[in-house]
Chains A and B, each alone.
Chain A
Amino acid sequence: MIYDQASYRDDSDELYEPLLVEKASKEVAVEDGPLPDDLTRDTLEMPELSEPELARHYTRLSQMNYGVENGPFPLGSCTMKYNPKYIDQVAGLDDAAVHPDRSEGSVQGVLDVMATVQDYLASIGGMDEVTLQPPAGAAGEFTGIAIARAYHRANDDERSEVIIPDSAHGTNFATAAMAGFDVVELPSGEDGRVHLEALEEAVCDDTAALMLTNPNTLGLFERDIEQIADVVHDAGGLVYYDGANLNALLGQARPGDMGFDIMHFNLHKTFAVPHGGGGPGAGPVGVVEDLAEFLPDPHARETDDGDYELYEPAQSIGKVHGYHGNWLNSLRGFAYIARLGGDGLADTSEKAVLNANYLATQVDLEIPYGPFHHEFVASAGDLDAADFAKRMLDYGVHPPTTKWPELVPEALMTEPTETESIETLDALATAFDNVLAEDEATLASAPNRTTAGHIDQASAARNPRLSWHALEDGEE
C-alpha cells in the first residue's frame, strides 16, 4: 500500500475537516473609515482564525490530497513527473519578484533569463523564436492560432477552417472556435494515426491550420509527418504542434524538423514545473522565422550590445497576457532545462519511453495501438474504465486518464513518466492486474481507502452548491 487514507473514513467524523467558516467566522461592519459611507460596503464576513489554527487547517487539507510525492501518478497526457525542489527555491528568490512595469534597464536579470529560456526552447523544438507570454497550454494554443490568423490576414488570405484529428485534446477544438474558426474534424485511420487521404480531402483554400499532437494521444508517432506537413503547406495552411506529448521527443526529434510552423510547450508537463493542483502552468509558443514578426507583444531579446530589451514585433498579434506571462514558471522551466542539459533531456525521453513500454509488458490489459512512446492506452475491456480507476485508488496509486481517447473502448491512458523506478512500475502493474481480476461489484463499490468514498457527481451537478453561502442556504 503506497498511500492509504482509510483512517479518514472513521465513523466518528473526528477526521472530517470543517470549512474555515464553520470553525469560526466574524462579520464586521464597515463604517467610520476614511471613505464616505456611500462609497463603501456595509459588512464583510470572513473566517476568523488564529495562525496556529490556520496552519492546522491547511496541513490537514494537504494530508487529504494526493500529489506526485505521495505515489505514482500515471495520468496520461498530463506528464506528472517529479518536481525538483531547487526549481521552487530559485522561483522564490527576492530578485525574481519585480514589478512588470519596471524599466528594461533595471530588470536585466529577468530579461536575461527570459531570452535564454526562449533560446533553449527554440533549440529543443527546432523553432526560430519562442514567446513566453502564454500562461498555460490552452493559452499557447490560442496564441499560436492567433498567429496563424494574423499570418493569413497579412497575405490578404482570410481563411476560416482549422483541421483537428478526432483523437486530439478537447482544447484544440475549443481554441479554434474561440479564435473564430470552423473546426474540421479529421477521422483517424485504422492504425490510430492521421490518414493521408482523409487529410487530402479535408484541406482546401480555407484551411488556416492543422493542429496535431505528435506522438498523438495514443502515444503513436505520426510516421507520415513530413507528407502531412506537405499536404497542409501545399494548400496554403500552417501546421501547429500541440506540445502536450513533447516529453517523448526531447533530444530525439524536433517539431521544427518535421515541418511544424508553430508549437506550444507545456512547462508544467515536460519541464517539471509543478502542476499546483491545476495551475499555474506556462505555455510558451515557438514559431519558424517567417512567423516571428507576428509574436505577441512584448517580446524579449538580446541586443547587439549584449543587453536585453523588450520590443513589439513588427506585425504582432498584440497581447495575450496582461504583462509577461507566468514569469516565475519561465524561471522554473529555465532551472529545469539548465540542470539537465541537452544530454539529460535526451535521457529524459528515453527513460519516459522505456518506463511506458516496460509497464505495458507488466500489465495484463489489452493495448490495441502501438508502437507507443511515453504513454499507452490500454482497454479495460468489459469493465467500466471509470470504475476501474476508482478501484485503483484502493491500491494506493493514482489511476490513468479514463475513457479517452475514444478510439480505445474503456480507455486507460497511462503515462508513468521517467521519474518512476522499476519497483514503483511493478507496484503499479500489480494494481492494474489486481483490479482486472476483480468483479464489477467490487469495482462499483470503490474506493474504500480514500478520504472520501465515491462522490455523487450527479447531485453536485443537479443542485450546484458552489460556496459556503449556498451550503448555508441549503440548511435553512
Chain B
Amino acid sequence: MSFEIPDELHYQDSHEWVRVDDGTATIGISDFAQDELGDIVFVELPSEGDDLDAGSDFGVVESIKAVSDVYAPISGSVTAVNEDLLDEPELVNEDPYGDGWMLKVDLADEGELDDLLDAEEYEAQLA
C-alpha cells in the first residue's frame, strides 16, 4: 500500500509533518499515521498561545482502539488550532495534509527544519 507523501513538507520520524509559509509552520500527522491509527475519533490539542518545544508531545490522537501522542517537530508559539477537529476528527483520516491540519505555530528557529526528514527520507523510513 502506498501513502501520500507531499514533496514540499518536512517530516518527523514519529509521523508528524510541517509546512512552512512566511515563518508560520502548519503541523499535522501523515497519511501513513492516520492509516495506522484507523478511524480517528478524538483529537486533543493545545491552546493558542502555548509554547511548544521540538520533540515534546503537544496533544493526543485517539482512534477506537489506540491512543497516540503527537510530538512537536519544531519549537514555537501556537497561533491557531484547528477547531474543526473537535467536532470532525475524521478530517484527519480524510485529508491529513489539508483540512486535517492540527496547529499553526510561529516558528521560533528555522534551523530546526534541518533536523527533520524530507519526503524522500520519510518514504525510505516507511519502506
Contacts and interface: CB of A to CB of B under 8 A. Distances in A.
Q: Do chains A and B touch in the complex (CB under 8 A)?
A: yes
A7 interface: no
Interface string A425-469: 000000000000000000000000000000001100110000000
Contacts of B88: 462
A403 B64 CA distance: 13
Contacts, number: 17
Interface residues of B, number: 10
- Pick from B41, B65, B89 the residue with the most CB of A within 10 Å: B41
A457 B41 CA distance: 9
Interface in B15-74: 39, 41-42, 62-65
Interface residues of A, number: 5
B39 to A, nearest CB: 4
Nearest to B93: A458
Question: Is the contact region of chain A dominated by helix, strand, or loop, or is it mixed?
Answer: helix
A457 B90 CA distance: 13
Contacts of A403: 65
Contacts of B90: 458, 462
Nearest to A461: B41
Contacts of A458: 39, 41, 63-64, 90
Nearest to B64: A457
Nearest to B88: A462
Contacts of B42: 461-462
Interface string B65-102: 10000000000000000000000111000000000000
Nearest to B42: A461
Contacts of B64: 457-458, 461
- Of A403, A457, A461, the most chain B CB neighbours within 10 A belong to A461
B121 to A, nearest CB: 27
A72 to B, nearest CB: 25
Interface in A96-124: none
A461 B43 CA distance: 12
Interface of B: 39, 41-42, 62-65, 88-90
Sort A-B residue pairs by CB-CB distance and give the 9 closest, nearest first.
Answer: A458-B39, A461-B41, A457-B64, A462-B41, A458-B41, A461-B64, A458-B64, A462-B89, A461-B42
Interface of A: 403, 457-458, 461-462
